């Protein structure tokens, strides 16, 4: 789960990771009040969307006075902000963070992720702050210092020192940098983050170390342990169909193709997407209705697939195990009663109660093509949409 920068900074503060003074605002008047309550200007007004690269798109503005903050917030709030990370459709800005502008001496990078190769958290620090870390890794990998952490011991002081010295911080900055790194590691583990990225981490002209940006991603599978964090979710930032799917406990991820796929089992869903691609088409979604899906869940899944206007054909690929083919068929029929199906449907059913399932579909009046096997199903649906 992604959260906003202002929410991330609130969490950082609780763990003694220093951030600039500031607060969130939803109107330009509120933004002005925040500025008035801060010390003196200048201030920075920052669009709060779940994407980076905001500066380049006009989502970050410096303002000298509270009046200018109000004006800048008025221009940013409600705008559709397009950045390299939002895609061409951009994101509507509903909130801004107003904070104290810093006089920046150095911009660094600090990130913590789980490294799949070692199965451990890895800390990465770089003197090339403000740039995308992927870009730094591609062009100047020698500028990235890494420390792999043993989760039993946690981040050791020597590892934090290696990072701080490695990015060339001066002697008087080592101590605050080490506690910054150690505290960020505590955030990462205590909140079950999948990513904690500070880009840039800055050294100010006054010699302070601050998190100027905060990208904190939380592990969805651990949210049951953090009810307070689950409340940070912003439905406005989610794809509406993914949001709907989540309400129905469906594993649905929207993609950019035009073939909707309803599959049971994540592995089968991945294989189905591969076959759709191999047949020369692109999947419109990943949907695993789950092993123990009810007819109602199937109906919801089918409805969500059809609600995507890009979908020009649907492939239903079910291997009836725990989810029996008749339950699937009843779910599809239930959904079809409510929505008009205007796109071709290809069905591949195998397994428990397959005959009954086919019969239910045949008697439903729904027009669909039966495929002999998975590959045939993918090829048929690809041919239909081309
Ligand atoms: P994004 O990653 O979306 O571009 P950042 O929060 O990293 O947004 O900000 C981009 C740049 O804007 C920073 O690298 C910094 O130069 C400037 N900036 C952001 N916040 C402040 C601040 N409080 N004071 C001064 N400059 C800032
Ligand atoms: Mg940033």
Q: What is the CATH number of the domain that holds 260?
A: 3.40.50.261
In the block, residue with structure tokens 């006054």: 206
The residue out of 101, 129, 146 marking a domain boundary is: 101
Q: Give the pLDDT band of residue 41 (cuts 50, 70, 90).
A: confident
Same domain, 255 and 351: yes
The residue out of 77, 101, 125 marking a domain boundary is: 101
Provide CB contacts within 8 A for 286, sequence distance 6+.
251, 252, 253, 255, 261, 269, 270, 273
Same domain, 224 and 269: no
Average pLDDT over residues 55-59: 90
Residues with CB under 6 A from ligand 1: 20, 44, 52-55, 60, 99, 101-102, 104, 107, 130, 199-200, 212-213
Q: How far apart are CA 115 and CA 119, in angstroms?
A: 5
Q: What is the pLDDT of residues 138-159, one digit of tens each?
A: 999 999 999 999 999 999 999 9
Instruction: Please give the pLDDT value at position 367.
Output: 85
Q: What is the CATH number of the domain that holds 49?
A: 3.30.1490.20
Task: Tokens for 119, please give them.
Answer: 């199965």
Q: Work out which ligand 1 atom sits closest to the CA atom of 212.
A: 20
231 CA from centroid of ligand 2 (Å): 24
In the block, residue with structure tokens 């190769």: 117
The domain in which residue 347 lies consists of 238-385
Provide CB contacts within 8 A for 69, sequence distance 6+.
31, 32, 34, 35, 41, 43, 45, 63, 98
361 CA from centroid of ligand 2 (Å): 52
The answer to whether residue 291 scores a pLDDT higher than 80 is no
Average pLDDT over residues 113-126: 96
CB 259 within 8 A of CB 317: no
Apex 246 CA angle, 244 and 248, nearest 5: 80
CA of 111, nearest ligand number: 2
Q: What is the CATH number of the domain that holds 16?
A: 3.30.470.20
Same domain, 273 and 336: yes
Q: What is the count of structural domains for the chain?
A: 3
The residue out of 237, 270, 304 marking a domain boundary is: 237
The DSSP bridge pattern shows strands 120-126 and 369-370 to be unpaired
Q: What is the pLDDT of residues 73-100, one digit of tens each?
A: 999 999 999 998 888 889 999 999 999 9
257 CA from centroid of ligand 2 (Å): 30
**CA-to-CA dists, residue 154 to 8, 36, 84, angstroms:** 21, 41, 35
In the block, residue with structure tokens 């649906």: 381
Instruction: Please give the pLDDT value at position 368.
Output: 86
Same domain, 71 and 132: no
Average pLDDT across the chain, whole number: 94
Average pLDDT over residues 318-339: 87
Coil, strand, or helix at residue 343?
A: coil
């Amino acid at each position: 789960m992604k959260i906003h920068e202002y929410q991330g900074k609130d969490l950082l503060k609780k763990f003694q990771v220093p951030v600039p003074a500031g607060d969130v605002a939803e109107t330009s008047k509120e933004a002005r009040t925040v500025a008035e309550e801060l010390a003196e200007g200048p201030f920075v007004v920052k669009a709060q969307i779940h994407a980076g690269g905001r500066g380049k798109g006009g989502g970050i503005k410096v303002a000298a006075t509270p009046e200018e903050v109000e004006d800048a917030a008025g221009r940013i709030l409600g705008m559709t902000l397009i950045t390299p990370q939002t895609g061409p459709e951009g994101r509507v800005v509903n909130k801004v963070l107003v904070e104290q502008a810093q006089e920046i001496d150095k911009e660094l990078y600090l990130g913590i992720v789980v490294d799949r190769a070692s199965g451990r958290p890895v800390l990465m620090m770089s003197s090339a702050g403000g740039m995308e870390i992927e870009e730094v890794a591609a062009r100047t990998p020698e500028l990235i210092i890494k420390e792999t952490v043993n989760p039993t011991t946690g981040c050791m002081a020597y590892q934090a020192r290696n990072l701080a010295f490695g990015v060339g911080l001066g002697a008087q900055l080592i101590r605050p940098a080490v506690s910054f790194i150690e505290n960020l590691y505590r955030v990462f583990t205590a909140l079950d983050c999948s990513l904690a990225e500070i880009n840039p981490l800055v050294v100010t002209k006054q010699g302070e170390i601050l998190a100027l940006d905060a990208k904190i991603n939380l592990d969805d599978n651990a949210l049951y342990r953090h009810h307070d964090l689950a409340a940070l979710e912003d439905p406005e930032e989610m794809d509406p169909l993914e949001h709907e799917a989540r309400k129905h406990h469906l594993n649905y991820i929207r993609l950019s193709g035009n073939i909707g796929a309803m599959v049971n089992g994540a592995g089968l869903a991945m294989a189905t997407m591969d076959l759709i691609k191999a047949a020369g088409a692109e999947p419109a979604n990943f949907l695993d209705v789950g092993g123990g899906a009810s007819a109602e869940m199937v109906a919801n899944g089918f409805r969500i697939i059809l609600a995507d206007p890009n979908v020009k054909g649907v492939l239903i690929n079910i291997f009836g195990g725990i989810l029996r083919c008749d339950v699937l068929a009843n779910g599809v029929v239930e959904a079809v009663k409510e929505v008009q199906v205007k796109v071709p449907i290809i069905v591949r059913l195998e397994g428990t109660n397959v005959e009954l399932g086919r019969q239910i579909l045949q008697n439903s009046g729904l027009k669909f093509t039966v495929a002999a096997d998975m590959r045939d199903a993918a090829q048929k649906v690809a041919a239909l949409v081309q």
